[in-house]
Amino acid sequence: MIHIKRFVKQAITEDNGRGDLFYDIAPDGKFTAKIVSKSNGILAGVKYAETLAQTEKIKVDFLKKDGDKIQAGDILAKLEGKASKLLSSERTFLNMLQHASGIATMASKFVEKLYGFDVVLLDTRKTRPHLRDFEKYASRVGGAINHRLGLDDCLMLKDTHLRTIENLAEFVKIARKRISWVTKIEIECETFSQVETAMEAGADIIMCDNMTFQQIKEVVKFRDEKYPHILIEASGNINLDTIQEYAKTGVDAVSSGSIIHQATWLDFSMRVD
């Protein structure tokens, strides 16, 4: 909750600058307003908007909650407060809700494609600077599961890391002594040969990066026969058109950065009564 309050205060400061010019000449008295959706999708950002309202001493009553399906024309929230507060916060309210809801909506579309498969949807670290917690939260609201929140979550060895390592098995052995007992090691692989090497070295998770469906099926078969404890993740240019084919390969997880970086904001507006 602390990071949400900090995020909200920074957002307010960013928009107000040296001070909203309307603030000191705004009409006295309290006014009411509504936040209305112009889009269909999944609502997210409610906890951030509620924190904003609390910070700005605005009374807010959300008629929908995080994760609810919404349609164009739905009233999402009712607000009451001074004109100066309502209007200086308007754009921040809308930005948070529209941005988060766009991500949640995109994530939910991916999740729907995975219905019936024993496969989880993961997001990635392809987030906007300073917005990772916010965007990862929105992804969760949409039904995705967060991959690493940061470099301290899991030791993940991508192709760039692997170019610096001479002996992978020896490196993993040393890493096991340095990282915590519960920390996983994930290794990115682009070929079946790399998969064999990574599994033999002691990886907990294998990321199949940009492999064909057939290649991944072979990886899963090899895993099932020799290393059943290892998890398999498919990644690389996975979209709504291809995600089901990846799920059919037998992987444990599918990851896609487009859940976040390709999401389009939903369209909301604030209307003063």
Query: Half-sphere exposure (CA, 13 Å, Cβ side) for 79?
Result: 27
Q: Where are the alpha helices (DSSP H) in 60-151?
A: 83-113, 132-141
Summary count for the chain: helices (H), strands (E): 10, 12
In terms of DSSP bridges, do strands 268-272 and 41-42 run parallel, antiparallel, or are they unpaired? unpaired
For helices 213-226 and 192-201, give the axis angle rounded to 10 degrees: 30
- Pseudo-torsion of CA 41, 47, 53, 58, nearest 10°? 80
Annotated active-site positions, please?
126
- The CA distance from 20 to 99, in Å, is 23
For helices 46-55 and 2-16, give the axis angle rounded to 10 degrees: 70
Distance of CA 160 to the CA centre of its chain: 24
Let me know the angle formed at the C-alpha of 47 by 41 and 52, rounded to the nearest 5 degrees: 115
- The CA distance from 64 to 75, in Å, is 8
3 state DSSP class of 232: strand
Q: Are 52 and 92 in contact (CB under 8 A)?
A: yes
